[in-house]
Amino acid sequence: MIDLRSVYIANGVGIFLILVLRYAASTRILRRQTEDKLFVLMLYGVMTGCFMEAFSYTIDGKLFAGARAFNYIANTYLYTVNLLLPLCLLFYVELGLYRDPKRIWKYYKPHIMIGVFMFVMTIMNFFIPIAYYITEQNIYERKPFSYVYYIVILFYCLTAMWVTHKYQKETGAKPFLNIMVFLVPILVGAGLQFAFYGLSLAWLSAAIGLTGLFMMQQNEMAYVDALADTYNRQYLNTITSSWINRGLSFAGVMIDVDRFKDINDNLGHSEGDRVLRDVASILKSARSKSELVFRFAGDEFVVLKLTEKEHGLDDYMCRVNKFLDAYNAEHFASNPYKLSLSYGTGLYTGGDLDRFMKIIDDRMYTMKSSHHSGDRRRKTDRENMK
């Protein structure tokens, strides 16, 4: 006998948690990044899952016009969202770590195809009951294929764990997102509900997991520059301290926007902000999975990479220059300036970090002085030709 009161309490608490999260997350969602939209999708998916779970338990065994159809619709929705939620989580983790939507289709085609196949099986269950069956008495019964859903869900969750582990191994940076904060409540709740039919813990557990995920988001926001959407100087200090304590070597490049003050003074700070966002986009687009981009101060950016090679970031800067050339060609008619960058590179192998930062900063200013001298020469040549 199912205790409907406990079902209503568990799922009611889940809905309340989601509503609180949606309100608390509203300021962050204004950023309108893809991962933020995925988070909202997960919120609404879990909230409606709580409602549908309570609804399916309520009508189970009840006989009235359309009762079996309603039961099938409710359980089809629950089976579908049970698959969609961990898949969205996987994409959310991927985007949060690498911030490159193109990687989704490149690396996760098998996961997407498995999800499509399972959705088709869910729809087919209306005609050939393989996952569950609603009896003539309107009672829900599991079928053997329902276990495949749990296997797929576990596969998605394990992939998300592997992605975070791989990211930490590649970059040497501990991800902000502790995936276990989200997964442990869900795995425990779903496991108990799987073992003991009649318990209603899965969707409440999902709401608790999303609460933990939201807390991880707030931790991330403390280390992300709101304008450039790169890591900030505070996180640079955290990362470098961790690497130095572990005795690791790393390459660094200090990057500065040429004539940025002129852009700000002549075209306004809104245009200056746009330039910073465009430069940050170029730097992020050029990176491989092992390079970390930071906004250091003002129009200065720093890129770091774990390596023992003296010129470990030379290839990266070649890619940056290609993206920069493409940007200038694309905006040739609309921009009253040509965007250019000065930079200085170096390899940290030990000693004082401030000294290392000064070295790459000095090298950057050397290039900057060279660029400005070239500008003055070209200006003089043009005046002499008149």
At 64-112, the pLDDT tens digits run 999 999 999 999 999 999 899 999 999 988 888 877 788 898 899 999 9
Q: How is the chain split into domains, by residue range? A: 4-221, 233-385
Tokens representing 1? 């006998």
CATH of 4-221, one of 1.10.1740, 3.30.1050, 1.20.1070, 1.10.8: 1.20.1070
pLDDT at 1: 57
Cα distances (Å, whole numbers) of residue 57 to 50, 125, 192, 205: 11, 19, 17, 17
pLDDT at 250: 95
pLDDT at 385: 42
Look at strands 300-306 and 291-297 and give their pairing. Answer: antiparallel
pLDDT at 386: 47
> Which residues, given as ranges, of the chain have pLDDT below 70?
1-2, 27-32, 176-177, 194, 196-198, 373-386
The per-residue b/e assignment along 164-179, b for 16 or more CB within 10 angstroms, e otherwise, is beebeebbbbebbbbb
**51: number of Cβ within 10 Å:** 17
**332: number of Cβ within 10 Å:** 9
pLDDT at 375: 54
The architecture of the domain spanning 233-385 is 2-Layer Sandwich (3.30)
pLDDT at 384: 44
